[in-house]
Structures are given as structure tokens and as C-alpha cells.
């Protein structure tokens, strides 16, 4: 959803002319930009999503390092189901990175506006997200914050975004200040345990939570304090998931001990089950 630029909004970032606001978070803002560099004849300017760090936070070395890691992680991932990194400058006065612009709503916004997705649409969504995770894991990266707000629904399929808290395989889920990363309503039980308990299969748990939301229109676990969410993370999936997306849910490890990471398949294994989904 496009928003008007504010008086304080930049009009240019790197080679990009800023056109509108796309969103904002606690640490930065995202803008719609147009590449002003010369292009081939009869082609318009390339549209991009430009993420920046808030001006008051650029002096924080830890945040700048995190932004640099996000850039390196996004560059390492190669999948048509993730937003492709186009350019970045983590050492600029105000660090920025630019990814391909996906003209579509987040899964969260789409479900809020239109309600649960049709069953076959959920199957196709699941297959696209599994392929995104396969590319992410192939780069030996975990995306511990897979949630509806981090999934864009574009014309070519879903795109996973936001590698701000992505981790290399074997890294923990706590920040330097001891704050747990991830979204409690979608994170796996091992996210809560922290440290090296989080593995690639933890993303599969998050994936199943996302599909439950897409199929039912509500988050899979109770909202509220982290402690309450953790208790619900130990439960089996809701009836909505079992009835609506049983084939996909089963492949994500919801049929047999989903609270144990070792019982969940990897993204590559899940991706091999295509019988109930149309080709992408």
C-alpha cells in the first residue's frame, strides 16, 4: 500500500528517486523507488523497494552490523520466491538496501481484507513458500521470522522478504542484548529454547503456522504474552489446518510430533510432494 512522502522523507537514496512510502517499523522505513540510471530504449525505470535505517539509530554500531548481515544474507539467497537484492550500501551515512519491488499485498493484509484463502490457493502458496525455504536453506541460512507480514503475494507467486534477523546454520536466536528474535505467534518451540536448538526444520514449523493462518483466517496460537504463546506452541494444530490443508500440513510435520524438530522434514523433502498442487 503506497503512502505519501512526509516532509522528513528522503527524496533520493543512492541511485533511486523516492516515490512513496511502503511501510515502517521500529528500526527503519521502506520506500518505493525508481532507478534513475540509464536503461535500454523503450524500457521504463526499474521500481525497487528501498529499506533504510532511522536517522536516530544510524550511530548504533550493533544495528549497523545487523544491517550489514541482512545485506550479506539477502545476497546469498537465490530463489524466485524471495525478493531479490539489487543494491545496498551498509556503510552510507544512512544505510540502505534495495530489493525488487513486488506489486502485491502481504499475506497478512490479504487475509484480513478477504478472509481465509481457498484450499487450492493455500496448497499453491505452501509450495511456493517451501521453494523459498529450499533456496534459503541452500545458502545455509535460517529465516526465523517467517510470518504472514513477511510474505508478499505477487503476480508470479509468493515472495519471502525481510532477512533482518536471519541466521547462519548453527547460530542462536538471541540478539546481543538478550532479546529473543522472531514472532511468538509463529515461532517454533525450539525458538523459545534458544541457542543451537533452532535448526532449518524450525522454519518448517513457522511455515505450517503460516499455512494455518492462510487457511483459517486466524493465527494458529493464542495472541498475548510470550509465555502464553509458548504454551500453545506445544499443542497440535487447529482443526482448521487439519480439515483444510491436511496434505500440506502433514508434509510440514504436523501429523507426527510437530513439537520435535527432528520429526519434521526439510524443505527439499516437502517440495517433492506435489500431487495436490498445480505446477508453478
Enumerate the active-site residues: 145
Q: Which contiguous run of DSSP H or E holds residue 222? A: none
Alpha carbons 100 and 34: distance in angstroms, whole number: 11
Question: How far apart, in Å, do the first and last CA atoms of the chain sit?
Answer: 26
Q: How large is the angle between the packed helices 107-114 and 200-216, nearest 10 degrees? A: 20
Specify the residue for cell string 533482518: 164
The answer to whether 125 touches 80, Cβ cutoff 8 Å, is no
167: its cell numbers: 541466521
Burial 251-269 (b: 16+ CB within 10 A, else e): bbbbeeebeebeebbbbee
Alpha carbons 134 and 30: distance in angstroms, whole number: 26
Alpha carbons 254 and 92: distance in angstroms, whole number: 45
Alpha carbons 132 and 130: distance in angstroms, whole number: 5
Alpha carbons 252 and 204: distance in angstroms, whole number: 6
The answer to whether 202 touches 190, Cβ cutoff 8 Å, is yes
Amino acid at each position: 500500500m503506497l503512502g505519501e512522502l512526509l516532509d522528513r522523507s528522503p527524496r533520493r537514496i543512492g541511485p533511486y528517486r523516492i516515490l512513496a512510502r511502503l511501510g515502517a517499523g521500529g528500526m527503519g522505513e521502506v520506500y518505493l523507488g525508481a532507478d534513475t540510471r540509464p536503461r535500454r530504449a523503450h524500457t521504463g525505470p526499474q521500481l525497487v523497494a528501498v529499506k533504510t535505517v532511522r536517522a536516530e539509530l544510524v550511530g548504533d554500531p550493533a544495528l549497523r552490523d545487523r544491517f550489514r548481515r541482512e545485506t550479506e544474507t539477502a545476497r546469498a539467497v537465490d530463489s524466485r520466491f524471495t525478493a531479490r537484492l539489487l543494491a545496498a550500501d551498509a556503510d552510507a551515512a544512512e544505510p540502505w538496501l534495495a530489493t525488487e519491488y513486488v506489486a502485491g499485498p502481504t499475506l497478512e493484509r490479504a487475509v484480513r481484507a478477504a478472509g481465509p484463502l481457498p484450499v487450492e490457493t493455500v496448497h499453491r502458496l505452501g509450495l511456493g513458500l517451501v521453494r523459498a525455504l529450499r533456496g534459503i536453506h541452500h545458502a545455509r541460512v535460517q529465516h526465523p521470522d517467517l510470518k504472514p507480514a513477511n510474505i508478499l503475494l505477487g503476480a508470479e507467486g509468493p515472495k519471502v522478504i525481510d532477512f533482518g534477523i536471519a541466521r547462519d546454520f548453527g547460530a542462536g536466536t538471541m540478539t546481543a542484548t538478550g532479546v529473543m528474535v522472531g514472532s511468538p505467534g509463529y515461532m517454533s518451540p525450539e525458538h523459545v529454547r534458544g541457542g543451537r536448538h533452532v535448526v532449518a526444520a524450525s522454519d518448517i514449523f513457522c511455515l505450517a503456522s503460516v499455512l494455518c493462518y492462510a487457511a483459517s483466517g486466524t493465527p494458529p496460537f493464542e495472541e498475548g504474552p510470550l509465555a502464553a504463546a509458548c504454551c500453545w506452541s506445544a499443542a497440535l494444530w487447529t482443526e482448521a489446518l487439519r480439515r483444510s490443508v491436511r496434505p500440506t500440513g502433514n508434509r510440514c510435520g504436523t501429523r507426527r510430533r510437530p513439537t520435535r524438530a527432528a520429526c519434521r522434514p526439510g524443505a527439499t523433502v516437502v517440495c517433492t510432494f506435489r500431487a495436490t498442487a498445480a505446477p508453478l
